[in-house]
Chains A and B, each alone.
Chain A
Amino acid sequence: MGTIHLFRKPQRSFFGKLLQEFGLVAADRRSWKILLFGAINLTCTGFLLMWCSSTNSIALTAYTYLTIFDLFSLMTCLISYWVMMRKPSPVYSFGFERLEVLAVFASTVLAQLGALFILKESVERFLEQPEIHTGRLLVGTFVALSFNLFTMLSIRNKPFAYVSEAASTSWLQEHVADLSRSVCGIIPGLSSVFLPRMNPFVLIDLAGAFALCITYMLIEINNYFAVDTASAIAIALMTFGTMYPMSVYSGKVLLQTTPPHVIGQLDKLLREVSTLDGVLEVRNEHFWTLGFGSLAGSVHVRIRRDANEQMVLAHVTNRLYTLVSTLTVQIFKDDWIRPSLPSGPVAANVLNFSDHHIIPMPPLKGIDESNPVTSTPTKPSSPPPEFSFNTPGKNVNPVILLNTQTRPYGLGLNHGHIPYNSVVNQGLGVPGIGATQGFRTGFTNIPSRYGTNNRIGQPRP
């Protein structure tokens, strides 16, 4: 089993490299406990496998696989410690958080494959039922049960704890919840014990031990050897039931899907983004979970040709940043090249622009003065047919906006989003002096708290 796990590591693990990493993890004091448990687990599994072959009981074998699964979960725990220590490398640019997810996925899938093998074996056993010796059956059951419970309860296994919380409930959990609800209906005092969501691993350990006890009893009393096969099937089905939701959850993370529970929030945020001034549409939105919990995403935002890219970018990022930690936003405009063809109105606009430019610009922005000169001629020069029915000053707008982009940032700061938008709207609707006045009034209204912040921020560039 150990060898199988070694190769699940991502990079070609030459043993030396592996040992080095292992030493890194083993240096941590927390991982000693895990290593200790792993060693106990190995011996325990060895004994159990021996007893399995001596009793010839497939139900006990199925139960032993749960112990082996425990070993995997311990390894997952170690991996999560390792992941915490590692920084993203240039090749694995997102970091190794996903390794945790992959380990959880692999161990749940392996448990299910083991259950599949049990199912196959038990079908073969139904054809020809061998004799079961009950000698070590009960001993094995209790050794495995106590060890499993001990491991589950004493080691804080972060990835599995997260997955078992986040994944949908297994059918075993649902049935137990249903039963315990009816029990609590009779004895309300038990509700604190039964009503919270049961840990699926504890549940399956208990249920498997219960099935094995029944098997033992029936074989002792009546020599019903078929019960052994039946309870093996039951344990295998329970394993499926327990592991399936978890592997679905972690598999969905691996598949880079949007987790369903954040879709509502995301929709809300995207709606907000699409109502931002200048934003025409939001598309190609990809949001997915990086590891357990942290969301990554990319989105393309199409904006109006006269909107200020950096401002929209900042706002979009600001909105989405609360939810999506690794975010990339691409701003794009249609037809941004086309305006460069006709050159007639350019001159007028530039003139116009320079007029306005002098008024609001503080001398501090000397560097930026060159920007609009190089960038604007392409933009406002086009008399775009689709906008022609709009306000006559439309063509002039970009100039104003370019000015606003760097300087009057304090406005947005002061009033939060809504006043900021309104100011920009104003600027769009009434170009020229009206806009600058808007800025001015806004500027005078700066509350002191943000104002200081702003002033600190401003001289820096």
Chain B
Amino acid sequence: MEEKYGGDVLAGPGGGGGGGGRLGPVDAPSARFTKYIVLLCFTKFLKAVGLFESYDLLKAVHIVQFIFILKLGTAFLMVLFQKPFSSGKSITRHQWIKIFKHAVAGCIISLLWFFGLTLCGPLRTLLLFEHSDIVVISLLSVLFTGSGGGPAKTRGAAFFIIAVICLLLFDNDDLMAKMAEHPEGHHDSALTHMLYTAIAFLGVADHKSKVESWFSLVMPFTTVIFLIMILDFYVDAICSVKIEVNKCARYGSFTIFVSALLFGNFWTHPITDQLRAMNRAAHQESTEHVLSGGVVVSAIFFILSANILSSPSKRGQKGTLIGYSPEGTPLYNFMGDAFQHSSQSIPRFIKESLKQILEENDSRQIFYFLCLNLLFTFVELFYGVLTNSLGLISDGFHMLFDCSALVMGLFAALMSRWKATRIFSYGYGRIEILSGFINGLFLMVIAFFVFMESVARLIDPPELDTHMLTPVSVGGLIVNLIGICAFSHAHNHTHGASQGSCHSSDHSHSHHMHSHSDHGHGHSHGSAGGGMNANMRGVFLHVLADTLGSVGVIVSTILIEQFGWFIADPLCSLFIAVLIFLSVVPLIKDACQVLLLRLPPEYEKELHLALEKIQKIEGLISYRDPHFWRHSASIVAGTIHIQVTSDVLEQRIVQQVTGILKDAGVNNLTIQVEKEAYFQHMSGLSTGFHDVLAMTKQMESMKYYKDGTYIM
């Protein structure tokens, strides 16, 4: 069956097991690669042996000498094999400079590498260092470019990070007893090892050069040079030519991690003594890095992440469909990504957005207040860390958490000024309302949690020490009071503006016929300045709630210190929770009304009047579906269908109705003027029976009206 349909039926990616109908890049038969894979695995295994051995060697030899001998031996053998001077092209001066740079960098890296080896032991070094290029590259691309390639890669990167964290935090490396004898005193985790590396690096201590006879070290050095450098280099080169790079990376890292784990467990075991016998340098059995749960877990995660990250990304690319091949399989073009990302440089982006923020009043105020708040928070956090006071630190985090509302308000204020796009066809102004709504919900959640907490405390009032609370809350109070001053100023200002606009609209009602453009301008200006800005209200309420919190803390502190009323604290917070809740309800209500496309309450009366006036227009029969809603602070949108007698000019009706509704405050208007002919056309055009029915009904009503008018 499979073969029969192989040619023309598309097999799904999971379904089509064999045959020729398989999609995707073609895999070569794996049997051909087996010998290379075995070779690679064996080499990696040997490399692990070499590293363990070099760890033993490093106990006897100083690191600098070790690296010198290692590099010397490698260079000698390599020059013999490769003949770089006698064969090939001669090296230019430019290339020499590059080679020199490369050598310096390589030297530093290998110094760090082996220094890490002396400190953390071979197992951890192997886990951290032995990643192939492809793994590291795809990790970095996931972490820093964002478009790493599908969820699989993201998972791989997450595994990698988890592995590193496991190694750093959960790996209690040496048993304390064993560690006690280490020459430098002791560090209990790999993290401190790393720190120590950084500190002690500059003066590399020569406390370990206790070589009895260099001659006895020739053999171990040879094996190390051969295993770590030469063999690995050549086999890697061969394998990466013969097999795919990612396969090479996958098998290689798997083998090396597993063998590292094995050796980590068994290196000191009698079985491996044959291996170690080569190294006659006495191992004092004093400090051995042992296997711990954390290391095993992190090794597993490293293996997983190496496996995932080195696998070729199947799904990551977003192709665009170009067409179909003659067989009917879709053809995709995978060029897209490089062209779409025209990313700005970060400083420039920050500069631009700062400029945008500072341009307008609202966002500027939020931004300044955010800065002030963050400053206070960081001072608090810093001071908390300095004095090791948990209360301060957690209060700092609490402030940071509050700042998230401000950040959202800032974003909303920023975004609301973006230009209208295809998707946001009215512009982004409505985002402010949505942000106000979210802020309101946020405050409700806060009020709820405070309420629950205070009820719990009311039942069981805990003892609390108050000595740290007062300065912090006074500081918070001052910061928040500044915020309230700034925002309430804005609040009043907007109120004034909206009143002004109302006034102007009243004013121009009387002679709306000849002051159209003027009025429109005045109105839009007025409402752009303020109207109802839910976003600012939300932010203001947030700051208000914070202020209330600080006041509550101060009051309850005073009560507790003066009278010892521990019940005052929960009572205060109960009161505050209720206050916050009550203050938020109007905001939520208003935002809900706007989001539900309610007739704007502040225009309700005018719109009613306007509709009555519309009905009196000459030649107008009726209107239907009047929808008016506030889209954003500055836009009140409306649509209406108007039926007119067939003898009037549509454009004149449109003009009159537009004038009336514009005066009523609707500034984004669509008017559909329908005559009797329209319904005839429609009943003819629409083949759907249902629509025809609706239309004929409409027509009947029209007829009735018409009769009425004609009778009159």
The answer to whether B152 touches A178, judged by C-beta atoms less than 8 angstroms apart, is yes
Chain A nearest CB: distance from B69 CB in Å? 44
The answer to whether A109 touches B441, judged by C-beta atoms less than 8 angstroms apart, is yes
State in angstroms the CA–CA spacing of A299 and B683 once bound together.
21
Interface 0/1 of B102-144, CB less than 8 Å to A: 0000000000000000000000000000000000000000000
Chain B contacts of A450 at CB under 8 A? 684
State in angstroms the CA–CA spacing of A123 and B400 once bound together.
11
State in angstroms the CA–CA spacing of A263 and B649 once bound together.
34
Chain B contacts of A336 at CB under 8 A? 649, 651
Chain A nearest CB: distance from B331 CB in Å? 21
Q: Please provide the chain B residues from 566 to 584 with a CB less than 8 Å away from any CB of chain A in the complex.
A: none
Interface flag for A294 (CB, 8 Å): no
Chain A nearest CB: distance from B671 CB in Å? 5
State in angstroms the CA–CA spacing of A175 and B152 once bound together.
7
Chain A contacts of B322 at CB under 8 A? none
The answer to whether B430 touches A255, judged by C-beta atoms less than 8 angstroms apart, is yes
Nearest-neighbor residue (CB-CB) of B640 within chain A: A328
The answer to whether B596 touches A330, judged by C-beta atoms less than 8 angstroms apart, is no
State in angstroms the CA–CA spacing of A90 and B626 once bound together.
9
Chain B contacts of A203 at CB under 8 A? none
Interface flag for B444 (CB, 8 Å): yes
Number of interface residues of A (CB under 8 A): 96
The answer to whether B681 touches A311, judged by C-beta atoms less than 8 angstroms apart, is yes
The answer to whether B397 touches A124, judged by C-beta atoms less than 8 angstroms apart, is yes
- Known contacts: A94-B629, A96-B596, A254-B595. The answer to whether A460 contacts B696 by CB under 8 A is yes
Nearest-neighbor residue (CB-CB) of B162 within chain A: A230
Chain B nearest CB: distance from A212 CB in Å? 18
Chain B contacts of A330 at CB under 8 A? 654, 669-673
- Known contacts: A113-B445, A258-B425, A370-B647. The answer to whether A311 contacts B677 by CB under 8 A is yes
The answer to whether B390 touches A127, judged by C-beta atoms less than 8 angstroms apart, is yes
Partner of B597, one of A98, A171, A184, A328: A98
Interface flag for B434 (CB, 8 Å): yes
Q: Please provide the chain B residues from 621 to 639 with a CB less than 8 Å away from any CB of chain A in the complex.
A: 625-629, 631, 637, 639
Chain B nearest CB: distance from A76 CB in Å? 14
> Which label, helix, strand, loop or mixed, suits the secondary structure of the A interface?
helix
The answer to whether A329 touches B425, judged by C-beta atoms less than 8 angstroms apart, is no
- Known contacts: A4-B448, A10-B592, A257-B425. The answer to whether A181 contacts B676 by CB under 8 A is no
Chain A contacts of B673 at CB under 8 A? 309, 313, 330-331
Chain A contacts of B422 at CB under 8 A? 258, 263
The answer to whether A251 touches B434, judged by C-beta atoms less than 8 angstroms apart, is yes
Partner of A93, one of B592, B627, B682, B699: B627
Q: Please provide the chain B residues from 651 to 691 with a CB less than 8 Å away from any CB of chain A in the complex.
A: 651, 654, 669-678, 680-686, 691
Interface 0/1 of A81-114, CB less than 8 Å to B: 0000000001111101011001000100110011
State in angstroms the CA–CA spacing of A288 and B424 once bound together.
9
- Known contacts: A91-B598, A254-B595, A300-B670. The answer to whether A7 contacts B681 by CB under 8 A is no
The answer to whether A191 touches B672, judged by C-beta atoms less than 8 angstroms apart, is no
Interface flag for B548 (CB, 8 Å): no
Interface flag for A378 (CB, 8 Å): yes
Chain B nearest CB: distance from A436 CB in Å? 18
Chain A contacts of B671 at CB under 8 A? 328, 330
Partner of A413, one of B437, B592, B685: B685
The answer to whether A298 touches B670, judged by C-beta atoms less than 8 angstroms apart, is yes
Interface flag for A157 (CB, 8 Å): no
Chain B contacts of A109 at CB under 8 A? 438, 441
The answer to whether B596 touches A10, judged by C-beta atoms less than 8 angstroms apart, is yes
Q: Which of B13-21, B187-195, B234-242, B340-348 contacts A (4 or more CB under 8 A)?
A: B13-21
Nearest-neighbor residue (CB-CB) of B394 within chain A: A124
Partner of A178, one of B150, B596, B677: B150
State in angstroms the CA–CA spacing of A19 and B547 once bound together.
36
Interface flag for B393 (CB, 8 Å): yes
State in angstroms the CA–CA spacing of A7 and B683 once bound together.
45
The answer to whether B699 touches A461, judged by C-beta atoms less than 8 angstroms apart, is yes
Chain B contacts of A311 at CB under 8 A? 677, 681
Interface 0/1 of B12-34, CB less than 8 Å to A: 01110100000000000000000
State in angstroms the CA–CA spacing of A413 and B684 once bound together.
6
State in angstroms the CA–CA spacing of A142 and B610 once bound together.
61
Partner of B397, one of A120, A171, A333, A367: A120
The answer to whether A90 touches B699, judged by C-beta atoms less than 8 angstroms apart, is no
- Known contacts: A93-B626, A256-B430, A461-B699. The answer to whether A4 contacts B425 by CB under 8 A is no
State in angstroms the CA–CA spacing of A375 and B599 once bound together.
36
Q: Please provide the chain B residues from 429 to 470 with a CB less than 8 Å away from any CB of chain A in the complex.
A: 430-431, 434, 437-438, 441-442, 444-445, 448-449, 456
Q: Which of A39-47, A346-354, A383-391, A402-410 contacts B (4 or more CB under 8 A)?
A: A402-410
Interface 0/1 of A300-336, CB less than 8 Å to B: 1000000001110111011001000010111111001
Interface flag for A286 (CB, 8 Å): yes
Chain B contacts of A263 at CB under 8 A? 422-423
The answer to whether A409 touches B680, judged by C-beta atoms less than 8 angstroms apart, is yes
The answer to whether B684 touches A409, judged by C-beta atoms less than 8 angstroms apart, is yes
Chain A nearest CB: distance from B426 CB in Å? 6
State in angstroms the CA–CA spacing of A383 and B369 once bound together.
63
The answer to whether A457 touches B390, judged by C-beta atoms less than 8 angstroms apart, is no
Q: Please provide the chain A residues from 96 to 153 with a CB less than 8 Å away from any CB of chain B in the complex.
A: 96, 98-99, 102, 106, 109-110, 113-114, 116-117, 120, 123-124, 127-128
- Known contacts: A188-B15, A285-B425, A321-B686. The answer to whether A7 contacts B703 by CB under 8 A is no
Interface flag for A440 (CB, 8 Å): no
Number of A-B contacts (CB under 8 A): 217
Q: Please provide the chain A residues from 221 to 259 with a CB less than 8 Å away from any CB of chain B in the complex.
A: 222, 224, 251, 254-258
- Known contacts: A92-B597, A178-B150, A328-B641. The answer to whether A113 contacts B442 by CB under 8 A is yes
Interface 0/1 of B505-541, CB less than 8 Å to A: 0000000000000000000000000000000000000
Nearest-neighbor residue (CB-CB) of A176 within chain B: B151
Partner of A328, one of B154, B394, B670: B670
Nearest-neighbor residue (CB-CB) of B442 within chain A: A113
Q: Please provide the chain B residues from 397 to 435 with a CB less than 8 Å away from any CB of chain A in the complex.
A: 397-398, 401, 404, 422-426, 430-431, 434
The answer to whether B680 touches A461, judged by C-beta atoms less than 8 angstroms apart, is yes
Partner of B649, one of A110, A375, A413: A375
Chain A contacts of B449 at CB under 8 A? 117
Q: Please provide the chain B residues from 689 to 703 with a CB less than 8 Å away from any CB of chain A in the complex.
A: 691, 696, 699, 703
Interface flag for B650 (CB, 8 Å): yes
Chain A contacts of B441 at CB under 8 A? 106, 109-110, 113
Chain A contacts of B154 at CB under 8 A? 171, 175
The answer to whether B13 touches A310, judged by C-beta atoms less than 8 angstroms apart, is no
Chain A nearest CB: distance from B295 CB in Å? 15
Interface flag for A284 (CB, 8 Å): yes
Most buried by B among A9, A102, A300, A314: A314
Chain B contacts of A422 at CB under 8 A? none
Interface flag for A165 (CB, 8 Å): no
Q: Please provide the chain A residues from 381 to 433 with a CB less than 8 Å away from any CB of chain B in the complex.
A: 405-406, 409-410, 412-413
Interface flag for B593 (CB, 8 Å): yes
Chain A nearest CB: distance from B658 CB in Å? 9
Interface 0/1 of A332-367, CB less than 8 Å to B: 110011000000000000000000000000000001
- Known contacts: A321-B691, A330-B672. The answer to whether A314 contacts B681 by CB under 8 A is yes
Nearest-neighbor residue (CB-CB) of B626 within chain A: A93
Interface flag for B208 (CB, 8 Å): no
Chain B contacts of A196 at CB under 8 A? none
Interface flag for B265 (CB, 8 Å): no
Interface flag for A371 (CB, 8 Å): yes
Chain A contacts of B151 at CB under 8 A? 171, 174-175, 177-178
Interface 0/1 of B150-173, CB less than 8 Å to A: 111011000000000000001000
Known A222-B293, A328-B639; 8 more pairs at CB < 8 Å: A8-B592, A94-B629, A106-B441, A117-B445, A255-B430, A286-B426, A310-B681, A328-B641
Query: What are some 8 contacts across the A-B interface (CB < 8 A)?
Result: A254-B595, A257-B425, A314-B681, A315-B685, A317-B682, A330-B672, A410-B684, A450-B684
Shortest 5 CB-CB contacts between residues of A and residues of B: A314-B681, A298-B670, A328-B639, A310-B677, A174-B151
